[in-house]
Amino acid sequence: MKITPIIGIEVHIELQTKSKMFCSCSASHFQVEPNTHTCPVCLGLPGALPVPNQTACDYCIKLGLALGCSINRETFFERKNYFYPDLPKSYQITQLQQPFCIHGQVILDGHTIRINRAHMEEDTGKSVHQHLNGVDATLLDYNRSGVPLVEIVSEPDILSPEMAKDYLLKIQQIVRYIGVSDADIEKGSMRCEPTVNLKIETDNQTFYTPLVEIKNIASLTGVQNAIQFEIDRQTEAFTQTHEVKSAANKTTRGWDAVKNQTFLQRQKEGSADYRYFPEPDIPPIVLTDEHIENLKNSIPELPDQKIARYQRDFGLNNYDAGLLASDINFAAGFDTAVGQHPSPQMAKFVANLFLGAIKTYLNESQTQLDIAQINPDFFNNLFQSVTNSQISATVAKQVIVDSLKTGQDPVAIATSKGLIQVSDSEEIKKLAQAVIDQNPKAVQDYKKNPASIGFLIGQLMKASQGSANPQIAKETLEKLLQ
């Protein structure tokens, strides 16, 4: 029996616009006092009308472009009619027939995951279930009602829980790169609903298990665990029931992160009838090529492009390039630090600093890199000093962090701390003679075993307070001991 998981994911990204999708209320709602960011429009009061937020539409299109989508030049909004207490108009304004963005893709290690669409819609309010005054109550908070959402629907091209995680990380990274949302799964600004079933090949026959959509997942680990659970559950269910996919047996299951299992939420009797029709309150939207071109030009270099460039131009390996590009701010810091047209040696040197000392410092101090503090001249000076042996690689790591903290030239810091390597042979000769005079036993050891010169070098370095060029120190000692 060969089992292949078939996974598609619907991702909702909450756009971080100032105002909501169809009114001028503030779109911020995380930890905001309930029902304080509301107005007739997002409360769905009689007579109120939606006016689309141009910035939100532009963000949606930018995101679509960053995902390689084509943009529909003529689009319109539609009403999706259904009842839910936190849906104040009893319809959600969304896009069905002509979404802003269609047919994109994300590539993960050479495997393409097709994106069916990315469309614009509005968020619902929030139902808060509470025990209140002795009764179980559902409270409604409409702060989230009308917050702009982009829904990204993938094709079922994802083959494993790990790939699902990588796909989501990629989406998250792209969203953060173009700056339209913080895409934080824990805070709910990025939400993931995988649909999972299995292709089962056995005895020269192929079966497809019923589709299951999983809701209520609040973390990346949750996504992986929920998908893995479904794969196992469906495998077992199939061996027992042999039930296969039909138009009528798609179900919705919730994810219980505590019990680490999915549970049946809704049995769909055929497909729900949302009675979609074009939203009469909003005229159709016609996008010009010029507008789309402008949006395209406003998209920064994306992670995949950056990684390719770092490999191509700087000779970095895929792993290091990927680490540098993981966060747009960090990558921007690196790009600033290397300056215009650096040599591959210089770029590698700076990359090592970023992936080593600087990353460690940022992690330990839990700070964000301040691009304004990055001076490419400093990095260049440091690189030159290390190249001509004035500064050791170890000292470079130390002073670059000090430089970031203080805004001073790292070479100047090294100088003031006396960390410049001494390459002056007379000076080193004096130190070497002193070390030989003070360590007769070590000198005897050396005579028996030349490999033991390390001790004497160490003593010399110590005497120079680390400033001696170790290579010259070694050569000088060897000369004197001949």
Binding residues for another protein, per CB under 8 A? 40-41, 44-52, 79, 81, 83, 85, 88-91, 271, 273, 275-277, 280-283
Nearer to another protein, 19 or 381 (CB): 19
Q: What angle do CA 221, 226, 231 make, to 5 degrees?
A: 130
Rg (CA), the chain: 31
The conformational region for residue 131 under phi > 0 = left, psi -120 to 50 = alpha, else beta, is beta
Beta bridge partners of 129: 138
Angstrom distance (rounded) from CA 36 to CA 125: 12
Question: Shortest approach of another protein to residue 140 CB, angstroms?
Answer: 8
| Amino acid letter for position 227 | I
Q: Phi and psi for 382 in degrees, rounded to 5? A: -65, -45
Nearer to another protein, 45 or 132 (CB): 45
Question: Shortest approach of another protein to residue 22 CB, angstroms?
Answer: 9
Nearer to another protein, 90 or 345 (CB): 90
Q: Which two tokens stand for residue 357?
A: 């000392």
Angstrom distance (rounded) from CA 339 to CA 176: 24
Nearer to another protein, 30 or 277 (CB): 277
Nearer to another protein, 285 or 453 (CB): 285
Residue whose structure tokens are 């061996």: 239
Question: Shortest approach of another protein to residue 98 CB, angstroms?
Answer: 14
Question: Shortest approach of another protein to residue 51 CB, angstroms?
Answer: 5
Beta bridge partners of 148: 122
Nearer to another protein, 50 or 156 (CB): 50
Nearer to another protein, 36 or 318 (CB): 36
Angstrom distance (rounded) from CA 370 to CA 260: 40
- Which whole-number Å values give the CA distances from 112 to 67, 94, 152, 154, in the listed order? 12, 27, 15, 11
Task: Look at residues 373, 371, 383, 385 and name the one whose alpha carbon lies nearest to residue 335.
Answer: 371
Question: Shortest approach of another protein to residue 96 CB, angstroms?
Answer: 11
Task: Look at residues 427, 430, 432 and name the one whose alpha carbon lies nearest to residue 443.
Answer: 432
- Helix or strand or coil: residue 344? helix
Task: Look at residues 246, 252, 258, 249 and name the one whose alpha carbon lies nearest to residue 230.
Answer: 252
Nearer to another protein, 96 or 386 (CB): 96
Question: Shortest approach of another protein to residue 223 CB, angstroms?
Answer: 31
Residue whose structure tokens are 């025990």: 131
366-375 burial: b if 16+ Cβ within 10 Å, else e: eeebeeeebb
Question: Shortest approach of another protein to residue 52 CB, angstroms?
Answer: 7
- Helix or strand or coil: residue 206? strand
Question: Shortest approach of another protein to residue 74 CB, angstroms?
Answer: 15
- Which whole-number Å values give the CA distances from 10 to 114, 314, 456, in the listed order? 12, 37, 65
Nearer to another protein, 41 or 302 (CB): 41
Question: Shortest approach of another protein to residue 123 CB, angstroms?
Answer: 17
Nearer to another protein, 47 or 440 (CB): 47
Question: Shortest approach of another protein to residue 83 CB, angstroms?
Answer: 6
